[in-house]
Chain A
């Protein structure tokens, strides 16, 4: 039943600072945080106050509109601060860990022997339900839905992204337990999508209870949206769920050991990192001790996630809930003189999807790209550039334009249910007119969700 799917459109942006295949251990971070902002469209309702004692797995807050969905503490300790932003929006719930490392016991059980309801209940209670997201809309899955299929992308194709094959190497049995658990949630298939390259997929070939699909091609081949589109596209009314391999491992640990243990391996990457490598850390851990002594001089941008879709964070920020890498690249806030570095320069240091820069002459070159937009925002002029990096049977520019004018009917017709903002990341990268396409797509999805809520 194994399918092999080849994708031609897209581009691999080669950047400096790929992580070496070494896992370093870290001291216990001095502070943790759970960020409601990691979860799209979430309105949190607090269940604890500052000063409360919590254990690993204690509920911190829940979703105001779906109160079954709980968010739990990754460590035992004390709620140090509930940090709020504009309009008293909750940004972070900070937890000061204590020495006890107590966890709530959710009870170990073999998921194969449990019913669907029991699996769902365990996931909801432990807070691990939040690792399961749905398409369309990329929000946390609704436990009352019955998903058509479940998708797992074990390919990470974004620039500098963490290698799942390496991360999961020693945790295959936990991964298998996680798959057994989520396998209970759907009557359809669990599609486990891996690369055709053996050294990026060898860990996964022995998994049971999944349909193994092999994908080949440039980024965004690892985006779960692309994979769903090529296996079985989402139509209006369909719901599919997806999660990443590290989440499956955490779920596996919940069922094996009965506790919420948010350990995960995170890659520290980017041209401004002195020794890019992997670190063993936890979800929500402060980055302080990971970044210590690792950053080069100058102003840097630290990103939780990959450089195309990640979230900008501060040097004392926290790893995002869904992220497997932290990227550090130079800020590009210096003006560039047009002859030496700007639009009329030869541009050897710049990468372009088009051949207007000499990057096509040096296919193997690795770049040190900064955050400069390399131009100002303009109206759409150039056509055809998005299509080159967008492997969907969808017209990207027309869809983006229909979103810009809030034409809900047209968005549906043009296939907005099949995409997420991350699928447009390369379009945004390549856009000559520097239009914020990911934000536009996100707004379009929000509009649709509101319209039919």
Chain B
């Protein structure tokens, strides 16, 4: 490896160094170098030894946690496709189809996002931060499979510039970058982001006669849970059946969010390594469950027309992007509440609001996106009150003494 390091230092770097022709592009070459080699920077003052962890390791852990969702998403894209067409296919075919659909999304998202990031770093001549490594993976996973690639590109560019760079880059943003991209498309191009036509790719064939393409979330607004159907129009044998499919993730939806199991594997990794806040994940689950319970209780009695309210509370947690959102989006440390107490409140309200928006406002069946973005904005206020309480404790201590 010393040879490689020498090559980078002696062959690649000189034109980029101070005074070289390409000095402007120093952040680019520097990021490649520090990607391959953790620099030999040593401590000067303060603690002479440092924790092994750095931002690259942290981001990599999150990506690792996303891998199950990504792989399952690829499989599910193919699975839904062949089911819609009513064709038999081998596991290999299914996965290959999905992979070919999903990979371009990933490539476009990373290409555009990192490109924008590099441009900003060159313009501001600061080191390239690793934040986008995760955002770039999240963005394709929360898109419908049929979204045009140019839209992904526009949305990613929008999210990185308006969502992050204008605030000062990684660590300074207010809104979750990936959700900003999704929200942008959701409002700018609603026909490509919602409805029944976008979730399953049927471009190269004609779907079976009874094909609906409806997600369970869309069905829930008008259909009692017992009458849910899969995309080919076959009614599920029972509530258990459709619930199990939702937990496994064999239902239509955005690319990577359908499988509760994949999300839980990711959640386990994030919580265990301490990188994702277990407080946020648990309290969001709790919040969702509480809201679901409230609706289960008041719904049938007072609003018999809204079948969504009658959807069992535990069912809410399995469908739509709820699980994916609270595990991978709500836990983004930059946009979440920062104090431990604040995290409980923040997570709980995300769960609560997600189910509230989902059930009460049928225009936004995917409430979790709105809930997280809203709570991103509210997080500093939650922290403010938590810190204010701490300050009050200190002030009252002082008062007791002077009194």
Interface residues of A in 410-444 (CB under 8 A from B): 413-415, 421, 425-426, 428-434, 436-439
B303 near A: Cβ within 8 Å?
no
Q: Using an 8 Å CB-CB cutoff, how does the interface string of A376-395 with B read, 1 for contact, 0 for none? A: 10111111110110000111
A332-B42 CB under 8 A given contacts A354-B53, A374-B51, A384-B333? yes
B272 near A: Cβ within 8 Å?
yes
Known A308-B49, A394-B390; 8 more pairs at CB < 8 Å:
A337-B4, A376-B39, A397-B338, A413-B391, A413-B394, A414-B387, A434-B50, A437-B46
Interface residues of chain A: helix, strand, loop or mixed (majority) = loop
Contacts of B42 in A (CB 8 A): 301, 331-333, 370-373
Q: What is the bound-complex CA distance between A15 and B52, given in angstroms?
A: 14
A356-B275 CB under 8 A given contacts A381-B58, A437-B46? yes
B242 near A: Cβ within 8 Å?
no
A303 near B: Cβ within 8 Å?
yes
Q: Is the CB of A335 within 8 A of B338?
A: no
B19 near A: Cβ within 8 Å?
no
A342 near B: Cβ within 8 Å?
yes
Q: Is the CB of A378 within 8 A of B387?
A: no
Q: Using an 8 Å CB-CB cutoff, how does the interface string of A190-222 with B read, 1 for contact, 0 for none? A: 000000000000000000000000000000000
CB of A265 to closest CB in B, whole Å: 22
For B44, the closest partner residue in chain A by CB is A312
Q: What is the bound-complex CA distance between A351 and B170, given in angstroms?
A: 26
Q: Is the CB of B398 within 8 A of A381?
A: no
Contacts of A249 in B (CB 8 A): none
Can you identify 10 A-B contacts, CB atoms within 8 angstroms?
Answer: A351-B52, A353-B274, A357-B57, A373-B43, A384-B340, A413-B395, A432-B58, A433-B171, A439-B45, A439-B46
Interface residues of chain B: helix, strand, loop or mixed (majority) = loop
Q: What is the bound-complex CA distance between A374 and B303, given in angstroms?
A: 58
B129 near A: Cβ within 8 Å?
yes
Contacts of A359 in B (CB 8 A): 52
Residue among B49, B53, B60, B397 making CB contact with A307, cutoff 8 Å: B49
Size category of the A interface is 35 or more
Q: Is the CB of A235 within 8 A of B397?
A: yes
CB of A252 to closest CB in B, whole Å: 32
Q: Using an 8 Å CB-CB cutoff, how does the interface string of A23-54 with B read, 1 for contact, 0 for none? A: 00000000000000000000000000000000
Contacts of B39 in A (CB 8 A): 335, 376
Interface residues of B in 1-47 (CB under 8 A from A): 1, 4-5, 34-47
Q: Is the CB of A382 within 8 A of B48?
A: no
Residue among A237, A329, A378, A398 making CB contact with B171, cutoff 8 Å: A378
Q: Is the CB of B38 within 8 A of A375?
A: yes
A379-B45 CB under 8 A given contacts A342-B38, A434-B50? no
Contacts of A397 in B (CB 8 A): 338
B339 near A: Cβ within 8 Å?
yes
A393-B49 CB under 8 A given contacts A342-B37, A371-B43, A374-B54? no
Interface residues of B in 364-403 (CB under 8 A from A): 383, 387, 390-391, 393-395, 397-398, 401
